[in-house]
Amino acid sequence: MRLRRAFLALLVVLSMPAAAQEGTGGKAPDPYENLQDWLTPRSAARWIPTASVGFDALLHTYPLAMTDTTETISEAFAAVGLEGRSGRVGPHRWRLQAGFSFGNELFRENLKAQWKYLDERRVTRWRLDGDLAGRQYQEDTGYSLASNNLEGRLTARAVPWVTQDHLLELRLDTGLMEYSNPSALEVRHRDAGAGVQYGSRLLAATPWRVAYRFAGRAYPDSAVIDRHTHSLEGDL
């Protein structure tokens, strides 16, 4: 699915600005000089609410169509969101983003989450990323293809071996696309994949890497179009 989006929005971030810290001329720093750091120390979680209004336009292409089938979606909308993240100390780090928007054509919800574990060298050894997005059309929508849908993806990464000159990363991911009323162009699918990546600083003037990835996509309503892909890539 390819999307070309022209987006215009006014973003209002409802967070307290941090004052720029200036030199103290040898005096002890004033703990109130940077109010944001005083309110949210390095070990504390931070939450930022947001609100926006705007106009969204995109060209939706359906790749499974026998001909070039597209639909232009455009709407005015208002949105609210909340973003939170962990403090900057300790081995465990997390980040959470949630949002909801109301438009003249669609309701949209999205949720993104990330967790990672850092070792004593501040190398990310474990990482989880999740993304969930929902869309519900208004009952009086003018679009011909208006099946409510839910899309999600989960990715896990692990670095079991890392030294000054070597790094090995393993990756697993899965995803889904679900429609309330599937059609020939709005097709449910399930994704799964795995990959391995090796990087090194040896045998070359600059760091290099090589990676292999396997991915599969299954369509519950039509096994004829199931597909599997293998890819091998490298950077030098």
Query: Which two structure tokens, joined as six digits, stand for 84?
Result: 């939170």
Would you say the C-alpha torsion 194, 228, 58, 109 has a positive or negative sign? negative
Q: How many C-beta atoms lie closer than 10 Å to residue 40's C-beta?
A: 17
* Size of the chain, expressed as the number of residues it contains: 236
Whole-number Å distance between alpha carbons of 172 and 194:
4
DSSP character for 71?
E
219 Cβ neighbours under 8 A, 6+ residues apart = 187, 188, 189, 190, 225, 226
Query: Which two structure tokens, joined as six digits, stand for 7?
Result: 């987006």
For residues 80 and 106, is the Cβ–Cβ distance under 8 A?
Answer: no
Whole-number Å distance between alpha carbons of 67 and 176:
25
Of 115-119, 178-182, 185-189, 216-220, minimum mean pLDDT range: 185-189
129 pLDDT above the threshold of 60:
yes
**Residue 122 parent element (H or E):** none
Which comes out higher in pLDDT, residue 115 or 19? 115
37-92 confidence digits (pLDDT tens): 555 566 788 999 999 999 888 777 766 555 557 777 778 899 999 999 999 888 99
130-139 confidence digits (pLDDT tens): 999 999 998 8
For residues 163 and 189, is the Cβ–Cβ distance under 8 A?
Answer: no
117 pLDDT above the threshold of 70:
yes
194 pLDDT above the threshold of 90:
yes
Q: Give the global pTM.
A: 0.75
83-114 confidence digits (pLDDT tens): 999 998 889 999 999 999 999 888 999 999 99
HEC secondary structure over 117-161: EECCCCCEEEEEEEEEEEEEECCCCCCCCCCCEEEEEEEEEEEEE
List the chain domain ranges.
43-235
